[in-house]
Amino acid sequence: MSGIGLMVVVAVGKNSYYGKLKMKIQQDQDETPLQIKLSDLADKVGQVGMYAAAATFLAMFIHYIYDCFQEGSFVESFVAVETIHELIEYFIIAVSIVVVAVP
């Protein structure tokens, strides 16, 4: 529990035994075929998610414009503050689709 000790330090950092072992573990290794296929799949899922989000936003926006035409006065309905709120809501839904789709 108590006492005095002396120590001779021969190597530190990368030159020590643990440093060399850590460097071997951290060396960049080539990707395995499975890792390559999984990264390709993740990229494709991300692209599909982006396309789905854009299509969803566009469909909801077109539906909103159609509803404005049905009300009779397109300019008054479309230029209202509610339109901005609706567009923000549609954008949040589109972003949610992207967040869920991309792992």
Report DSSP state, residue 22: H
Q: Which tokens in the block code for residue 5?
A: 């000790």
Do residues 90 and 53 touch, judged by C-beta distance below 8 A? no
Tens of pLDDT along the chain (103 residues) come to: 788 988 888 888 888 888 888 888 777 677 888 989 998 998 999 899 999 999 999 999 999 888 877 777 666 666 777 888 888 999 999 999 888 887 6
Q: Which tokens in the block code for residue 76?
A: 């008054």
Contacts of 93 by beta carbon, 8 Å cutoff, 6+ apart: 56, 57, 60
Read off the pTM: 0.62
Task: Break the chain into its structural domains and give their ranges.
Answer: 30-101
